[in-house]
């Protein structure tokens, strides 16, 4: 029997950034490879298949579609239909193909963004030779209405009442199901009689009103990846099925007497019902395979594959991490005591579903994820444990420890740590997700300046109180060490980054907003550094910007997050400097504003809001001494930030040095 399989793939892919959807990778396979795969078994069952792919001329030029399709499906009868003009909808695209290639007879029309088991459609075709169209449907909820065309059936599900596309359909007098874009037409050429419609659901509605014989069939096995959310869910669901490599002797079967170990069958059957693939392994050579097969059959041991003749030594599983579930370890090992059996073996939990990837993280990824088993959301901070990231793994571990430490000092000053995991390939920790909280920087100035004093009060009372006073010599030594280890080494780095950046370090002729400034190096020479010597060391946050403070406007509660950059004890001025970065220099706007204008090689005009004298506001919260000391450490921190800022842009690096120059000049003239 001949069957045509037609894929209209001329869509613009707007939901995927206007990329050509058929060639997007759903997993290790493209959308079109997965969508086509259910039809391959028809070829093995004696059907003669012809495939038609319909797409736009500009898609052919941009994606070389015909060449790639023929390379993908080298053993199939592939026909590429390139449309020189755009049509008004998928139905007209289909009609164009039928006319151009004289397609007729039994034909599937299938979308490329799902993979379904077509057996029910084929069975219905063989039973009902008089059906004009076999229409597959899928159980949907109202949340799915925007993603599916719809069909309304009677309560018995054996009579069609109505069709519609993406618009709302009520279920008052029937049952609403989702249309699956994989229709089987008995005579595909007949749809040329309906030239005035755009989509197939409209065609089916008209055919139904004209008393054409349409029959429905329920699909119970299907996978959808036509939207970014559905693609994510598809990838997630596929990753839930494990491949289990299980040794036989001493694990399933007693090593000496070859009897079945307790709990073996129950556990294996349970894993099979979960969809896991079971591969049995053994060091026995191939000559003993018949004996092994007999033992497995005699004991009714369920499995999918058997591998013999392995080394008796350790077995390593090596697998690549999937980019769409980066926090999920793709290779695990479980070692058990010989002859203890597998009854007590528990597999890793189902991976949580990614809901959102947060912006702003540098080396770690920050996800909002959901534990779908317990229906709970939480935050996961994740990093790969590779050699080049080992330092950042240590930083993230320290951050997790600091969150625990701060919560010990003051209960719930930070989100709760729920879980921590470290292996040879990855590290992550999970925190509670705070519904209703947002970054303090996103609120207006009134809320910000009312909230910061309460945060500082708690820090002084519960965190900074664990302090150690330093002698004058030790305090002076601390400042010298800070400048020599953290600040001055950046001069050579900045010099290597770009000549213009080096100019700020050594040129005494920089002009900012019509005011002449000295070089940064010169300011650090003439400042009276004794004024900036710290009094004591204590635990600090280390990155206390407004972006790292979460605030709930309804409850007036706050939480501190993302400690970083400090030693186990450090100086309070570092936290003040970070707050000033937000309160005075409006750090949250740096990515969204025009930061400065270049007049010439030495002259710049900077946005006034970044260098406005805010002493009258800040000194309502901080003492005058804290104000100037905070500005000093903020300016030196800006110097330290240059290598990071240049990764954002060359202009950001210039901007941060303009700020450092201005504020060093400001404290030199005023303090």
Give the tens place of pLDDT for each residue, 450-486: 999 999 999 999 999 999 998 999 999 999 999 999 9
For residues 621 and 452, the answer to whether their CB atoms sit within 8 Å is yes
Secondary structure (H, E, C), 338-368? CCCCCCCCCCCCCCCEEEEECCCCCCCEEEE
pLDDT for 362: 64
Mean pLDDT is lowest, of 230-244, 274-288, 466-480, 647-661, for: 230-244
Cα dihedral across residues 97, 100, 101, 105: positive or negative: positive
Any idea where the domains of the chain sit in the sequence? Answer: 2-232, 240-351, 366-432, 438-670
Q: Is the dihedral of CA 212, 218, 222, 228 positive or negative?
A: positive
User: Above 60 in pLDDT, residue 341?
Assistant: yes
In terms of residues, how long is the chain? Answer: 671
* Span 240-351 CATH architecture: 3-Layer(aba) Sandwich (3.40)
Which residue's entry shows tokens 């534990």? 371
Closest CA to 545 of 450, 448, 614: 448
Residue 5 backbone phi and psi in degrees, to 5? -115, 110
**Paired residues of 54 in beta bridges:** 8, 81
Mean pLDDT across the stretch 154-172? 83
Count of C-beta atoms within a 10 Å radius of residue 129? 7
- What's the pLDDT score for residue 399? 94
Give me the pLDDT at residue 354, please. 80
Q: How many angstroms from the chain centroid is the CA of residue 221?
A: 27
- d(CA 663, CA 518) in angstroms, rounded, equals 11
Residue 534: predicted pLDDT:
93
Higher pLDDT, 404 or 159: 404
DSSP state of 21: G
Confidence of residue 1 (pLDDT cuts 50, 70, 90): confident
DSSP structure string for 528-569: -GGGG--SEEB---S---GGGEEEETTTTEEEE----S--SS
Architecture of domain 366-432: 2-Layer Sandwich (3.30)
Q: What percent of the chain has pLDDT over 70?
A: 99
CA dist., res. 536 & res. 55, Å (int): 71
Q: What is the pLDDT of residues 573-606, one digit of tens each?
A: 999 999 999 999 999 889 877 889 999 888 999 9
User: Of residues 359 and 286, which shows the higher confidence score?
Assistant: 286
The pLDDT assigned to 46 comes to 82
Residues 6+ apart with CB under 8 A from 410: 458, 461, 462, 463
Element (H, E) at 34: helix 31-36
Is the pLDDT at 331 greater than 90? The verdict is no
Distance between CA atoms of residues 260 and 300, nearest Å: 10
**pLDDT given at position 375:** 85
pLDDT value for 501:
86
pLDDT computed for residue 6 by the predictor: 95
Q: Which residues pair with 178 in a beta bridge?
A: 138, 150
Predicted local distance difference test score (pLDDT) of residue 195: 83
Number of Cβ atoms within 10 Å of the Cβ of 582: 22
Average pLDDT, the chain: 90
The CATH number of domain 2-232, selected from 2.60.40.1180, 3.40.50.460, 3.90.550.10, 1.10.540.10: 3.90.550.10
> Can you give the pTM of this predicted structure?
0.67
Phi then psi dihedrals of residue 21, to 5 deg: -60, -40
The mean per-residue pLDDT over the stretch 278-285 comes to 92
The confidence band for 361, taking pLDDT boundaries of 50, 70 and 90, is low
Residue range 38-87, pLDDT digits in tens: 999 898 788 899 999 999 999 999 999 999 999 999 999 999 999 988 87
Neighbours of 577 (CB within 10 A): 23
Please list, in sequence order, all residues whose beta carbon lies within 8 angstroms of the beta carbon of residue 457, skipping any fewer than 6 positions away.
none
* pLDDT at position 439 over 80: yes
The fold for domain 438-670 equals Aminoglycoside 3'-phosphotransferase; Chain: A, domain 2 (3.90.1200)
| Residue 499: predicted pLDDT | 82
Percentage of the residues of the chain whose pLDDT score is greater than 90: 61
């Amino acid at each position: 029997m001949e069957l045509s399989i037609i894929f209209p793939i001329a869509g613009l892919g707007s939901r995927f950034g206007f990329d050509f959807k058929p060639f997007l990778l759903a997993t290790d396979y493209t959308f079109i490879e997965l969508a086509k795969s259910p039809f391959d078994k028809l070829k093995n069952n004696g059907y003669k298949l012809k495939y038609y792919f319909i797409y736009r001329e500009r898609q052919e030029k941009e994606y070389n579609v015909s060449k790639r399709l023929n390379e993908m499906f080298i053993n199939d009868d592939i026909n590429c239909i390139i449309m020189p003009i755009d049509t008004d909808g998928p139905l007209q695209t289909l009609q164009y193909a039928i006319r151009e290639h004289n397609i007729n007879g039994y034909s599937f029309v299938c979308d490329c963004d799902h993979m379904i088991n077509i057996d029910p459609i084929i069975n219905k075709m063989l039973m009902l030779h008089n059906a004009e169209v076999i229409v597959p449907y899928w159980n949907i909820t109202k949340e799915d209405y925007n993603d599916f065309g719809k069909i309304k059936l009677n309560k018995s599900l054996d009579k069609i009442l109505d069709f519609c596309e993406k618009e709302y359909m009520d279920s008052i007098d029937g049952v609403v199901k989702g249309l699956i874009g994989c229709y089987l037409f008995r005579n595909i050429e007949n749809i040329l009689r309906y030239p005035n419609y755009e989509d197939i659901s409209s065609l089916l509605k008209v055919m139904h009103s004209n008393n054409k014989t349409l029959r429905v069939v329920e699909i119970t096995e299907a996978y959808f990846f036509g939207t970014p959310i559905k693609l994510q869910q598809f990838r997630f669901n596929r990753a839930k099925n494990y491949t289990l490599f299980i040794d036989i002797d001493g694990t399933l079967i007693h090593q000496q007497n070859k009897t079945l170990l307790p709990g073996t069958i129950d556990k294996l059957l349970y894993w099979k019902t979960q969809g896991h693939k079971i591969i049995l392994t053994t060091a026995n050579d191939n000559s003993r395979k018949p004996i092994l097969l007999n033992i497995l059959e005699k004991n009714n041991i369920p499995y999918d594959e058997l591998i013999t003749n392995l080394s008796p030594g350790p077995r390593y599983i090596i697998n690549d991490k999937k980019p769409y579930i980066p926090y999920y370890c793709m290779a695990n090992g479980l070692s058990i005591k010989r002859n203890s059996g597998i009854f007590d073996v528990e597999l890793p939990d189902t991976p949580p579903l990614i809901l959102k990837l947060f912006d702003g993280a540098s080396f770690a990824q920050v996800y909002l994820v959901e534990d779908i088993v317990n229906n709970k959301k939480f935050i996961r901070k994740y990093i790969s444990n590779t050699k080049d990231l080992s330092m950042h793994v240590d930083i993230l571990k320290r951050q997790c420890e600091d969150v625990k430490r701060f919560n010990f000092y003051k209960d719930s000053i930070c989100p709760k740590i729920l879980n921590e995991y470290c292996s040879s390939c990855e590290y992550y920790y999970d925190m509670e997700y705070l519904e209703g909280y947002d970054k303090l920087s996103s609120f207006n100035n009134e809320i910000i300046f009312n909230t910061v004093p309460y945060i500082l009060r708690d820090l002084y009372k519960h965190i900074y109180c664990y302090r150690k006073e330093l002698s004058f010599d030790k305090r002076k030594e601390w400042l010298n060490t800070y400048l020599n280890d953290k600040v001055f080494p950046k001069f050579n780095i900045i010099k290597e980054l770009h000549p213009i950046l080096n100019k700020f370090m050594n040129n005494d002729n920089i002009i900012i907003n019509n005011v002449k400034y000295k070089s940064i190096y010169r300011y650090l020479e003439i400042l009276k550094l004794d004024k900036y010597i710290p009094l004591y060391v204590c635990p600090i946050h280390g990155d206390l910007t407004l972006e790292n403070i979460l605030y709930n406007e309804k409850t007036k509660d706050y939480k501190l997050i993302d400690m970083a950059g400090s030693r186990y004890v450090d100086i309070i001025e570092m936290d003040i400097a970070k707050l000033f970065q937000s309160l005075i220099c409006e750090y949250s706007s740096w990515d969204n504003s025009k930061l400065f204008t270049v007049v010439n090689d030495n002259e710049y005009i900077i946005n006034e809001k970044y260098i406005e004298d805010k002493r009258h506001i800040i000194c309502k919260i901080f003492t005058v001494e804290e104000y100037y000391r905070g500005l000093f450490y903020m300016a030196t921190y800006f110097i330290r930030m240059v290598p990071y800022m240049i990764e954002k842009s060359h202009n950001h690096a210039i901007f941060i040095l303009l700020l450092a120059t201005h504020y060093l000049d400001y404290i030199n003239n005023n303090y």
